[in-house]
Each structure stands twice: as structure tokens, then as C-alpha cells.
Amino acid sequence: MKFSVSCVLLCFGLLLSSPLQAERILLASSNYHPHYAADLPQQGVVTEIIRQAFTLQGIQIDVEFMPFGRALHEAKMGHYAGLIAAWYNEDRVEHFLYSQPMYANQIVFFKRRAMPLEFRNYQQLAESRFRLGVVQGYAQPEGLIRARLNTIAVASDEQAFRMLALERVDLVPSDKLNGLYLLQTLLPEYADDIVYMEPVLEQRPMYLVLSKQDPRSEELMERFNRGLQQLQASNQYRTILQSLLPATDAH
């Protein structure tokens, strides 16, 4: 009897000393309203999709927010397991594994309402010598890159829109929802003066990217993709989109 009690106590002690919490990983992120940001409910819809997909695989995430250029660099160097979201870019494949797509951004040009311009093609913009405000590190449409437009790099989307309002740049390529959110919440004084142009330049899917510097990346990506498939097959995925994205973007 003494031997049995001792065994039970030993096993109980080992159980208490073993890690009972789920596996955790640390991801870097920028603020990209209304898709993901430190001040959004659940840190935004993209963060919540990633969180719930990993949870289905027994993994918990922690997120640290910083400017996009820094987040991209820190994740590339392996200081974080990966980046909350990025668009596909050939140059990044060398450094990152890409997940299955979560959902797509609609990329459009924003301009000042008073500026008479209808977008025909990128060459038209190049010949007119328009200045584009672009966020450092963001992947840009291929046509824009090939046209060699005059671009001015800034640190954030908010800065790009401020420069547009102050006529320091002429156009800003941006996700439509992101631009509208910034104008309505952070820059309401410019909301009536800035509009987006049609047609949509491209539909650009967002992906979780994991650093190839992290030896766990392949396994983590396989588990995330499995979790994402489970999530997308459930009602929870649509509920997340409908509750955390503006109603105009009910995917």
C-alpha cells in the first residue's frame, strides 16, 4: 500500500512539473486597419483567424506590433516565428513559407477629389509624372513596378494618406477597406477630400508567413493550414469575418 501511494504521489508530482499549457509561438505584426491591429477587437479579423486556426492544432499565439518594415525584417531574421499577414512577393519566398490564403484585399488608388483623373493604365500615370505614396516594404502591383513610377516611401498608411491630403503625393495605392477606415477614424478632417478610384487594380490574398530561419516552420505551417481548412469548413470562419470586418466586406 505504501508503495502504491508513493507511486501515485510521484506521478502526480511529475504531472504538475510537466508543461500543461499549449505550445506557444511569437508573431510580429504591423497595424493594418481594419484587418489587424493592436487596438482592434481580438487584434483584428486576420489575427483572430490565425489564432483560431492554430488553436485547433493545439498552438497559442502571442503578437507584438510594430511598423511593417521592421516587422518584416525581424520575422525574416527569425527573431519572430513569422508575420501575421503579408501579400505574396517573389523576393520573400527565399525567406518565408506562405500559408494557404485567408481572404483577399481589394487594391485601389486613392486620390484627392479635386484632381480630375480617370485611371487608364500605369503608363498614363508614368507619363503624367504622378507621385505615389507607398508604404515601405509593401508589395506593389506588377504593373506599377514595371512602369517605374515616381514613388515616395513612407513608414505607415496613415502617413501616406496625410501626404496625399497635403498634396505631397498625388496617388496612394491601398487596400480599399484600409483606406476608408483610416479616413473615417484617424483622418476624418480629410475624409471628404479623398476618394478611391475604380477599377480595382487587383485582388490580393493575405497569407500568414513563417520565417525559414525557424526550424519549426514547416511543421507549424502544415498544422496551421490544417487548422485553417477546419476553420473555413465551419460556421466559425464566416462568423469571424462578419463580426470583425466592416459590413461592406462580408466575404
At 32, which CATH number? Answer: 3.40.190.10
Are 213 and 99 within one domain? yes
User: Taking the complete model, does pTM exceed 0.75, yes or no?
Assistant: yes
Which range (25-34, 149-158, 182-191, 226-235) has the least confidence?
Answer: 149-158
- Domain extent, residue 155, equals 104-203
Are 109 and 98 within one domain? no
Contacts of 240 (CB under 8 A, 6+ apart): 45, 48, 49, 52
pLDDT in tens, 9-43: 444 444 444 444 569 999 999 998 999 999 999 99
pLDDT in tens, 41-75: 999 999 999 999 999 999 999 999 998 889 999 99
Number of domains making up the chain? 2
Are 94 and 211 within one domain? yes
Are 142 and 221 within one domain? no
Are 163 and 216 within one domain? no
User: Could you write out the three-class secondary structure of 72-107?
Assistant: HHHHHCCCCCEEEEECCCHHHCCCEEECCCCCEEEE
